[in-house]
Structure formats: structure tokens, C-alpha cells
Amino acid sequence: MGFEITIEKSEISRIKNFDPQNIGFGKIFTDHMFLANWDGNEWINPRIVPYGPLSLSPATSAIHYGQSIFEGMKAFKSQKDGKTLLFRPLENCKRLNKSAERMVMPSVPEALFMSGLTTLLTLDEAWIPKTEGGALYIRPYMFATDDFIGVKPSENFIFAIFCCPVGPYYTKALKVKVEDEFSRAAPGGVGFTKCAGNYGAAMYPTQKAQQEGFDQILWTDPVSHQWVEETGTTNLFAVIGNTVVTPSLTNTLLAGITRDSVITGLRHLGYTVEERPLSVQELKDAVVNSTLKEMFITGTAATLISIQGFSHKSEYFEVLDKGNTDTSLAIKTFLDSLRYGNITDPFGWTVVV
Ligand SMILES: Cc1ncc(COP(=O)(O)O)c(C=O)c1O
């Protein structure tokens, strides 16, 4: 199915105000955005317009009942030939549609997702930072737009994409709090989706952890709080002895695309990786026995960052006391080389725009 995208260009580019040496994260937006409407039957009016406010009814159903989902992905400038590269974009489209199904929202065809995305990136290409660790963060999202009060699935939706040039999300190894009071998701719930409510619900416990001096929460299973799951926006890896362990996927955590790339990449590099339940006790024992060599988290926004230590029930466990980052550095270097087009991609993950 082909989609004809109309383009209304912004009259003046804001790029001259953009300082690539001082980007931060999520505060600067490129000149254009992509929009398409679901009219209850089909996607209509796919269009690029200048980035700017949307006009919405106060009764907009997404605001009241939470039918709102999103994705996060990045475009990179190839350090070899300057071409624009995407990393596994179809995986984001698949995950968006998984979230959509659970939230009773329409599916976005790959052709619409990719043509909206590539048209937008072609127009706003100059915004992709060429700085070390810089990228264009891309936010595809969909929300319910019925002008209606009453709890029922909306009939109308907007699918949109906008972009922000970004630098590193975290700049130093993190201290995390193993959460054993609050829960992020429940079995049978929506933890495996990127629905907006998951993030709103996590803010109170995360703010509490930050007030206690931690950078992030390490969520545990909602029933026993004995099994570690993921952090706020990343998946978790631990190097125990000579094995890299990551919690197996359940319906209470998000199947990160970076997580999958780290598992595949590490195996390609000759490491042993296990996807299995990982208990708080195993991590604590491994610190005590000096077998916990590294802990790190992975995600599109955060990329890959080490965990310096974790607290559990007010006891603090130092992971990086020996300063070991061999495994995390190896996989970070490998994935960055793929993302920035510096090595041949053995998996067909990078897509040239
Ligand atoms: C809750 C959660 N876990 C993990 C991740 C990492 O996923 P990805 O690697 O696809 O960015 C994210 C980010 O999307 C997230 O929001």
C-alpha cells in the first residue's frame, strides 16, 4: 500500500539557533513533524507540517482514558560517508503495533511508518548531530482523539512523528535502588507495552528514589519483589563470573530492541549470554563473592551505561569497586560501530535513509 505524503515546509528553519556542542536531551525539536489520522476505518491525510502545537478538544479521549502509546528510536550520521542511518526501525514499528493491539488502537502499516519517517528525516537531515555520541532521537506515537466522555475505545487517532537532536542521556555510572515496595507493572497488565500510563505511574517511586540519592529504580517483580526486571527506561545486564545474564522477558517488562541487539551482538563476539530469572539475592551474593564483575543497562535513549552500585533494603552493594567494564565496553563499541556505519553490519540491522 502506498501513502502519498503532502509536505508543508516551515518558512524559516530554526537550525541556526541550534548549538551542536550543547544539545542536552529532549529539549530541542527539528523544523518539521509527520502526522496522519485514523478515521475509524483507514489512515488518511499523511502529511509533513512545521513542528508546532496541535489543536485538540478538551474532551480528547487519550487525555482522560490513556489510549496513548509511543516509541523511541534514533537516526545517526554515518561516520564513513555521511549518509543517514536508522538502527532496526522495523522493530520499533512492530513494537508500536504490539502496544496498539493491547490498547485497542489501530495498527500502523510498515509502509506508512517508514515513508513518514524517511520523508521527515530527509527534510530535517541537517539536524542530525555529528558530535561524539550525538544522534537524532525520533518519537513516533499514537493517541486517541475522540471528542467524547465515557470509557470506550476511541474511533479516531493521530499517528505522529517528531525528532530531537540529542547528546548522551547519562554521563556517568549510575546508582540504582532495588524497588521492593512499588511496582511498575502487574502480570496480565500492560508492562510489555510502551503505553504512556506506564511512565506516569513510575514517576512517584522514581522521584522518591532520586530524593534518596539514586539515579534510577531497578524494578523487581510485582508479586515477590525478589526478581529484578528492568529500570525506568532500560533493560538490565549483569556479568556474573564468565556469563552475561539478563532477566528473561515476561509480560511485565519491555522487550528492548537494544536488549536484543546486545544479546545477539555479545553472542556474535563470543560471549555466553543467559536469559533467565535473576534474583536480587543472586546479585547480592555475587557482590559478596566478588563474582559480579559488571552491571549495565541498555536502551535507545540511554544507549549503554554501567551501574556503579545498587541498594536493597537500605544496604548498598558496590559493583564497580574494581572498575571493571570490559564486557560493556566491548558491546558498546560494537553496537556504536554498527550504528555509525563504521563496520560491515553482519545482521542487516542498519537501514540507509
Ligand atoms: C520500560 C523500558 N524498558 C526498556 C527500554 C529499552 O528499550 P529499547 O532498547 O528498545 O530502547 C525502554 C525504552 O524504550 C523502556 O521504556
Fold of 6-166: D-amino Acid Aminotransferase; Chain A, domain 1 (3.30.470)
Judge if the beta carbon of residue 230 lies within 6 A of ligand 1.
yes
Instruction: Tell how far the Cα of 299 is from the centroid of ligand 1, in angstroms.
Output: 5
- Ligand 1 atom closest to the Cα of residue 258 is 9
Looking at the CA of residue 257, tell me the nearest atom of ligand 1. 10
CATH code for the part of the protein at 174-339: 3.20.10.10
Maximum Cα–Cα distance across the chain = 63
Q: Where in the sequence of the chain do the CATH 3.20.10.10 domains occur?
A: 174-339
Residues of the chain with CATH 3.30.470.10: 6-166
Burial annotation 125-159 (CB, 10 A radius, 16+ → b, else e) = bebbbeeeebbbbbbbbbbbbbebeeeeebebbbb
DSSP character at residue 146: -
Question: Can you give the pLDDT at residue 1?
Answer: 59
Residue given cell 555479545 in the structure block: 266
Comparing CA positions, the residue from 126, 128, 232, 243 lying closest to residue 185 is 232
Output the CA 129–ligand 1 centroid distance in Å.
Answer: 22
Q: Which of 69, 142, 72 is nearest to 301 (CA)?
A: 72
Tens digit of pLDDT at every position of the chain (353 positions)? 578 999 999 999 999 988 888 888 888 999 999 999 999 999 999 999 999 999 999 999 999 999 999 999 999 999 889 999 999 999 999 999 999 999 999 999 999 999 999 999 999 999 999 988 899 999 999 999 999 999 999 999 999 999 999 988 888 999 999 999 999 999 999 999 999 999 999 999 999 999 999 999 999 999 999 999 999 999 999 999 999 999 999 999 999 999 999 999 999 999 999 999 999 999 999 999 999 999 999 999 999 999 999 999 999 999 988 888 999 999 999 999 999 999 999 999 999 99
Would the CB of 191 count as within 6 Å of ligand 1?
Answer: no
CA dist 298 and 305 (Å) reads: 7
Backbone angles phi, psi at 2, to 5 degrees: -95, 150
CA dihedral 58, 62, 66, 69 (to 10 degrees): -150
Ligand 1 center–CA 61 separation, angstroms: 25
This prediction has a pTM of 0.96
What is the CA(254)–ligand 1 centre distance, in A?
6
Q: How many Å lie between the centroid of ligand 1 and the Cα of residue 341?
A: 23
pLDDT for the residue numbered 90: 98
299 within ligand 1 shell (Cβ under 6 A): yes
